[in-house]
Structure 1
Amino acid sequence: MTNPLIILDRDGVLNEDTDAYVKSVDEWIPLPGSAAAVGQLCKAGFQVAIATNQSGLARGYFQPSDLDAMHAKMTALAAAEGGEFAHIAFCPHGPDDHCDCRKPLPGLIHQIEQALDNSAEGAWMIGDSIRDLEAGAAAGCKVALVRTGKGAKSEPRLAAHEQLFEAPVFDDLAAFTRFLLDGAH
């Protein structure tokens, strides 16, 4: 039996986001409680994976080595809390590259499914933007919005999306984790 899957967006869910792009390990600043939430989810038996658009690569804002360093920092912080990322899927493409992995398309989620041999059907996809939730919904996930990152600006737009308007909204990843682990799912 494969452990149930939780898929997280990165920027705005695990770390601070900026319209200027998170371009270096020094700019990758964890959100309070996010690493602890990953640890709690893993200890509760969930596989935690990341699905993140990283068009800054295509735009030349940072290099693959910078992304590796950011993910090493993220992984180390989660590990310090007893958590681990089962898989990190990222889209390195720009919006005009016509790839199948850039959210709101579900390609990153399909990559996670393949890498983990685990279905995302019914899994949770947590994001701070409409495109995160659209990708999750397209892959058959339950979706939830966090108000961190771009989430507070995205929240009023949920009502305009038929498949998303009932998505639960949480202050942050820690609040979602409390909801899930308290058995309210």
Structure 2
Amino acid sequence: MLYVFDLDGTLIQGYMDGGDYAHVQPLPGRIEKLAELRAVGHTVAIATNQGGIAFGYNSEGDFKTKLLEALRALKLARDTPVKVCFHHSTASIERYRDPEGCARRKPSGLMIKELMQELGYSADQTMYVGDRPEDDQAAAHAEVAFMWERDFFGLGAENFMAR
């Protein structure tokens, strides 16, 4: 099974929720649950919007540093599949307003579909886990199962891990 996770607010403390963009703090239970999934043969991937880059708050290099630190902190391999969208339709930096790039931004499910295609999973073999309404909408767009992070990392996750 392919488990695709949002990053900020799902796996690590979200910088928009009082965290620091450069400081990575895994949320409780994430390291253990990710290790458990991988130990039984599931694939773990990440699909994340990083629109702050489109507004000049951070750079793509800042994100790469943050991502590498997040992977290290979560005990995930550096080659963990990741899809990221830096674009935003109202970006202050023009190159990030590109319609094709914006089309990948959640609530679109295109990043999830890209991961499924590249990794060889079908929609019925994929779950997206997130913390925001656009995550739920992205899963619906990609026609995959969705679970709120609070439920997945809480008591409700066992029902889905057996699939």
Q: TM-score range by the shorter chain?
A: 0.7 to 0.9
CA distance in 1, matches of 2:18, 2:86: 13
CA distance in 1, matches of 2:81, 2:122: 13
Aligned to 1:94: 88
Return 5+ residue gaps in structure 1 as ranges. Answer: 148-169
Q: 1:48 to 1:67 in 2, by over 3 A?
A: same
Aligned to 2:40: 44
Report the CA distance between 1:14 and its aligned residue. 0.4
Structure 1, residues 34-79: CA drift from partner, whole Å, max 9, x if none?
Answer: 1221111111111111110100111111112211111111211233
Q: Is 1:5–1:120's contact at 8 Å kept on the other side of the alignment?
A: no
Counterpart mapping for 1:24-43 below 5 A: 24-26=21-23, 28-43=24-39
Q: Return the match for 1:111 from 110, 114, 132.
A: 114
Counterpart mapping for 1:67-78 below 5 A: 67-78=63-74
Q: Does 2:146 align with 1:146?
A: no
Structure 1, residues 166-185: CA drift from partner, whole Å, max 9, x if none?
Answer: xxxx1x5354544434x3x5
Give the TM-score of the pair, scaled to structure 1: 0.72
> RMSD of aligned C-alpha atoms?
2.3
Q: Kindly, what percent of the aligned residue pairs are identical? A: 27
Q: 1:177 to 1:71 in 2, by over 3 A?
A: farther
Q: Which structure dedicates a bigger proportion of its chain to helix?
A: 2
Amino acid at match of 2:153: L
Give the TM-score of the pair, scaled to structure 2: 0.81
Amino acid at match of 2:13: E
Q: Is 2:50–2:85's contact at 8 Å kept on the other side of the alignment?
A: yes
Q: Return the match for 1:125 from 119, 125, 128.
A: 128
